[in-house]
Amino acid sequence: MHIIRTISSKSLFLLLILLILTSMGIVAIAQHARLETDLNEYMPSTHPAFSFSDESEKLFGITDRILIAIEHPDTIFNAGTLEKIRDISLDLPASFPEISDDGVTSLYTAYNITGSEWGMEVGSFYGPDIPSSAESLGFLREQVVSNEMIYGRNISKDTKASLIIAEVDPESDVQDLQKRLINYAESWEGPETLYIAGRPIVEGALAQLGPADMARMFPMVMIVMITVLLILLRSVRDMILNMVIVLVGIVAAFAGMVIVGVPVYAVDTMIPVMLIAIGVAYGIHMHNAIHHEVLKNPDIGKQELVDAVLKAMVRPVFMAALTTAIGFMALMTSQVLPVRYFGLFSSIGVMTEMLLALVLFPASIYLFGVPRTGLTAKTTSAQQPMVRMKRNRWGQFQMRKPGVSIGIALVCTALGIAGTMNVWIDTSFLANFEKDSDIVRTDTFVNTHFGGTSSLNVILSADREQAFKDPEVLQAMDMLQRNVLEQEVVGNAFSLTDFIKRMHKVMHADDKSYSLVPDSQELIAQYLLLYEFSGDPETLESVIDYEYRNANITFQLKSDSSAVMSEIIGIIENHEERFEELGISLKYAGSGYKAFVFSELLLQGQVASLLLSFVIVAILLAMLFKSIWIGMIGTVPIAITAIINFGIMGVFDIPLSSATALISSIAIGIGVDYAIHLIEHYRNRRLEGNTIEEATFSSIRHTGRAIIYNALAVMGGFAVLMLSVFPPNRQVGTLIVLNMATSALGTLSVLLVAIIALDKRGLFIRTDKTSISHEITSQEESIV
Amino acid sequence: MKRIGFRLMASIFVMIMSLPLFAQISGAEVMRHVFERPTGEDMQATLNMTITNARGSARERSIMQFRQDSGTIEKKIMFFTAPADVRNTSFLSFSYSDGRSDDQWIYLPALGRVRRIASDKSNESFMGSDFTYDDMGARHPEEDNHTILREEVVDGWQCYVVESVPIVPNSEYAKTVSWVIKDEWIGLKKEFLATDGSVTRRLVIDAYEKADTVWVITDMTMTNLRKQTSTRIRMNEVSFNNNLRESFFSERQMQIGPRT
């Protein structure tokens, strides 16, 4: 406390240092901060599911694909469109370094293996010359429609659209690629329409849209918050101080990342949100304490005021920050790197804000003198009694009818728990966009005309070589594929069996009844040899390894939602037993699957660390107030906030994702602050000898006011986000407004009731009745 | 000063000597010699093919190969002897010197039928290996412009280093460079270069011998440096001029197997 006083007394010097440090921080962030957009970097690569997927991706060359759909109003079977398909197929690798020479699949590059009475023919569908006569176009159409390897996969069933599939280097910058591809597609339009879809596109758009929208909305959030703060605090000086605390706290967190060399991840957009909500709380509590001291004694001197405020506030503000920071630190148990960093750097931000709140407010007193707020006591006295009465009524209500608050809280919690049952876990990139946005419309187009924009790879591994030449194994695969394809959301399946079925049919003069897996292992082996002869062994390598020990089935899905993925995996798992009998194990791979595992991990981690931080907070509170009871009741507002948060998510269909799950951390950060301030204030009043009733009223007047102001300012600011065009940001806004409201109400009702109840049973504080001093109370009453 | 002058003189001399201008033979002539090198009227051999992929996994195949060259038609018949599940699968091809596209047949014993294969993908992989049909001797020297770059000694042989640029550009490579033994007209090494000058594929001959006055390559490896795959072909039991019957290269023989 002495140190703080010394530091804050050198106000000008302090301001200078702060300015320099902040500027350095901002410069460092501007120059060195790098945004991590590669989702693979988010995942713990040592996790077995990820390392297996990575290995399989290498084995079978599984990469994210960009889907370019060309739609012609009538049919793609016309010279102009066919020429465009050829030109784009040839030009893509030349125009995009991310796409390799043999990474493009289209009607132009595809092999057409056909059967006839006399034998088999291997060739292109067309090219290099473009068919233009009605006869040759008709022949091409016939070829396409009769080839199940391409019809419905690369050419839509109505023949109005054709797909060009490009494999993209996983290392590429998706955001940049997405922009260039969209421009590129536009240059080829007319009379055809081009659609670009695929995971890299969605990722790219998301990486661009999310932060861009945040950047657009953030100034508005700040303006509204500033306005609300000005109205509530009626002090330009304190409003500015609040904003400085918040901004410097945010700078500190991000500068910390730069110093340690950690990139900025997408979840880190939540750091400013968190730090605003918490930082404003510290500022308001400080403002409130000063305000009250001045009201108590309008003639108070600078030094006296600083001493009084610090005496009252150092302990609760420090405790609140410490508990919040440690609560965030619990996130460091997460398996997911960005979440760990989120926890660490949020803690740094919180501690910075705490220090600033403790130093800057006294410094402002030294620099600008005792705030005038105190002098307006008389002018505002007209409103004051009403405010006081209201607060007192609230206090009386809480004291006389504690059952009502408890009852309401119990009902809300019960409803919350019921709602929580409906919370669905989902990480869908596409769900982040408006239904009528370009990206969703494109995706829908490709999904309705073709197999699907998302994929799931099923990796089958046998305990022996040559297993995937075994007809029984292949028939089981075929069965699995057909079963999964029954799902409407699954558009396509592709595996070794498709090659074998195709060859079997071709070698039987294209007779459809031979489109099946034959019973002879020799025949299968010979078909595969023949397929290699035909000059396209590389395609085969994407479905089977050299030893015929590992096979890859690709399912194309019409949705990128992890809930859908989970459902499909459930169906696939029904086949596990059959494969086990055949000595084959089933695993999964691909970026879609990794995102799915990632979201599960993220949520498990989040829920675990939420529970852990609960325990930590309870222990810390118990230690700080030297009472297990206080530790327990102190977590009640947090619990209520968290439960109602999840409940509302369930009711309003807000899926639990990485961003929305992190918001529940606000429940801890804010809830702890509120609890500590309320408990501390109440306890101090009681230690000073006030009665339970007096301590309650005083707590409501002091802490209650600060809590309400804090909640209103933050709610006002983040309510702006509810107007965002970006759905995830809207969800963030809604949940923050909700969390602030429940935290404030929960603290001022349930926690207060609990404190009173404990106190009445003599469990809250061991007071010595003889030391009650009416002097202080009466003095205080007379001032307010 | 004097010494530097001497060195300069010497290097200029060497450079002049190695200029194609002074070579007695043109690149096109070298490559024609290679193309026309006598290979016997017929030949038979056992071929072992090892295809290795980027991860180091290998596939082995054994083939008995018979070839007959009448001057206008080159006929080839191949019987797979290993792996077991493709044993007796056979492949017959007729290549015509007048530029007609090849005729090809396949016999799958498990299917019990001979089927014709028509393919317009001639520059494609030979049996799923790193070799193309062109590499297997199908490419006529008139399809490229040849220039002798220099002479080099490889393996103790004096070689012409010939650059060949395709007249009709293809997507696979921009040019090739071949090392051809002077007067023996057998290539010891060949590189395929991309437009940027980087080597995309490299053929290295590790063993070659003269059997019945005919040079035969008995061990060669083609490496695809881009895909990091390679194919090694070894030839054993090579014999020439066995007076194979014309009817040996027939659909019927495909079903009978490699019994002469």
What six digits make up the tokens of A566?
């989970």
In which band, very low, low, confident or very high, does the pLDDT at A250 lie, cut at 50, 70 and 90? Answer: very high
**A97 at B interface, C-beta within 8 A:** no
Q: Does residue A780 or residue A134 have the better pLDDT? A: A134
- What percentage of chain A reaches a pLDDT higher than 70? 93
**What distance in Å separates the CA atoms of residue A368 and residue A371, rounded to the nearest whole number?**
8
Q: Look at residue B7 and tell me if it is in a domain.
A: no
Cis upstream peptide for A128 (omega within 30°): yes
End-to-end CA distance of chain A: 27
Total number of domains constituting chain B: 1
Q: Look at residue B100 and tell me if it is in a domain.
A: yes
B115–A59 CB contact, under 8 Å: no
Give the distance from residue A96's alpha carbon to the nearest chain B alpha carbon, in angstroms: 17
A526–B91 CB contact, under 8 Å: no
Q: Look at residue B17 and tell me if it is in a domain.
A: no
Q: What is the pLDDT of residues A85-103, one digit of tens each?
A: 999 998 998 888 888 877 8
Domain boundary among the residues A558, A584, A610 is at A584
Backbone phi and psi for residue B249, each to the nearest 5 degrees, phi listed first: -95, 70
Q: Look at residue A56 and tell me if it is in a domain.
A: no
**What distance in Å separates the CA atoms of residue A700 and residue B155, rounded to the nearest whole number?**
97
Give the distance from residue A540's alpha carbon to the nearest chain B alpha carbon, in angstroms: 10
Give the distance from residue A58's alpha carbon to the nearest chain B alpha carbon, in angstroms: 9
B85–A530 CB contact, under 8 Å: no
B117–A120 CB contact, under 8 Å: yes
**What distance in Å separates the CA atoms of residue A778 and residue A296, rounded to the nearest whole number?**
11
pLDDT at A82: 93
B86–A466 CB contact, under 8 Å: no
Q: Look at residue B12 and tell me if it is in a domain.
A: no
**Contact present, A310 and A5 (Cβ < 8 Å):** yes
Q: Look at residue B51 and tell me if it is in a domain.
A: yes
Give the distance from residue B250's alpha carbon to the nearest chain A alpha carbon, in angstroms: 16
Q: Look at residue A527 and tell me if it is in a domain.
A: yes
Q: What is the pLDDT of residues B178-200, one digit of tens each?
A: 999 988 888 899 999 988 889 99
Q: What is the pLDDT of residues A109-131, one digit of tens each?
A: 888 888 877 788 878 898 778 89
Q: Look at residue A450 and tell me if it is in a domain.
A: no
Q: Look at residue A591 and tell me if it is in a domain.
A: no
Q: Look at residue A728 and tell me if it is in a domain.
A: yes
In which band, very low, low, confident or very high, does the pLDDT at A774 lie, cut at 50, 70 and 90? Answer: very low
Domain carrying residue B238? 23-256
Beta-carbon-side half-sphere exposure of residue A722 (alpha carbons within 13 Å): 11
A119–B118 CB contact, under 8 Å: yes
Give the distance from residue B121's alpha carbon to the nearest chain A alpha carbon, in angstroms: 6
What six digits make up the tokens of A22?
């902040």
> Is there a single domain that holds both residue A526 and residue A415?
no
Q: Look at residue B6 and tell me if it is in a domain.
A: no
> Is there a single domain that holds both residue A765 and residue A617?
yes
* C-alpha triplet B163, B167, B168: angle, nearest 5°: 130
**Contact present, A565 and A557 (Cβ < 8 Å):** yes
B86 chain-A contacts, CB cut-off 8 A: 522, 525-526, 529
A119 chain-B contacts, CB cut-off 8 A: 105-106, 115-118
**Contact present, A366 and A302 (Cβ < 8 Å):** yes
**Contact present, B200 and B108 (Cβ < 8 Å):** no
Residue A270 identity = M
Q: Look at residue A312 and tell me if it is in a domain.
A: yes
**A219 at B interface, C-beta within 8 A:** no
Q: Look at residue A744 and tell me if it is in a domain.
A: yes
Mutate to test the interface with A, among B117, B122, B168, B192 (most CBs of A within 10 A): B117
Instruction: Inform me whether the pLDDT recorded for A152 exceeds 90.
Output: no
Domain boundary among the residues A197, A228, A260 is at A197
Cβ pairs A/B, distance under 8 A: 91
- Residue B124's nearest CA partner among B108, B113, B135 is B135
pLDDT at A728: 78
> Is there a single domain that holds both residue A188 and residue A227?
no
> Is there a single domain that holds both residue A554 and residue A654?
no
Q: In the predicted model, what is the mean pLDDT of residues A193-216? A: 81
Q: Look at residue A44 and tell me if it is in a domain.
A: no
> Is there a single domain that holds both residue A177 and residue A271?
no
**Mean pLDDT estimate for chain B:** 84
CA closest to A127 among chain B residues: B120
Residue A72 identity = H
The alpha carbon of residue A158 and the mean position of all alpha carbons in its chain are separated, in whole angstroms, by 39
Q: In the predicted model, what is the mean pLDDT of residues A553-581? A: 91
The CATH number covering residue B74 comes to 2.50.20.10
Domain boundary among the residues A155, A170, A197 is at A197
What six digits make up the tokens of A247?
């901004």
**What distance in Å separates the CA atoms of residue A394 and residue A191, rounded to the nearest whole number?**
70
Residue A327 identity = G
Domain carrying residue A221? 2-38+205-421+597-783
**Contact present, A145 and A73 (Cβ < 8 Å):** no
Give the distance from residue B123's alpha carbon to the nearest chain A alpha carbon, in angstroms: 9
B59–A546 CB contact, under 8 Å: yes
Beta bridge partners of B179: B161, B189
Q: What is the pLDDT of residues A267-301, one digit of tens each?
A: 787 788 888 888 888 888 898 888 888 888 888 88
A118–B55 CB contact, under 8 Å: no
In which band, very low, low, confident or very high, does the pLDDT at A483 lie, cut at 50, 70 and 90? Answer: very high
- What percentage of chain A reaches a pLDDT higher than 90? 23
Total number of domains constituting chain A: 3
> Is there a single domain that holds both residue A699 and residue A751?
yes
pLDDT at B14: 56
H or E segment to which residue A716 belongs: helix A705-719
> Is there a single domain that holds both residue A625 and residue A737?
yes
Q: Look at residue B177 and tell me if it is in a domain.
A: yes
Among candidates B89, B115, B128 on the partner chain, residue whose Cβ is nearest the Cβ of A507:
B115
B85–A546 CB contact, under 8 Å: no
Low-confidence ranges of chain B (pLDDT < 70): 1-23, 120-124, 137-138, 260
**What distance in Å separates the CA atoms of residue A667 and residue A646, rounded to the nearest whole number?**
11
**What distance in Å separates the CA atoms of residue A249 and residue A503, rounded to the nearest whole number?**
66
**What distance in Å separates the CA atoms of residue A328 and residue A335, rounded to the nearest whole number?**
15
Backbone phi and psi for residue A578, each to the nearest 5 degrees, phi listed first: -60, -45
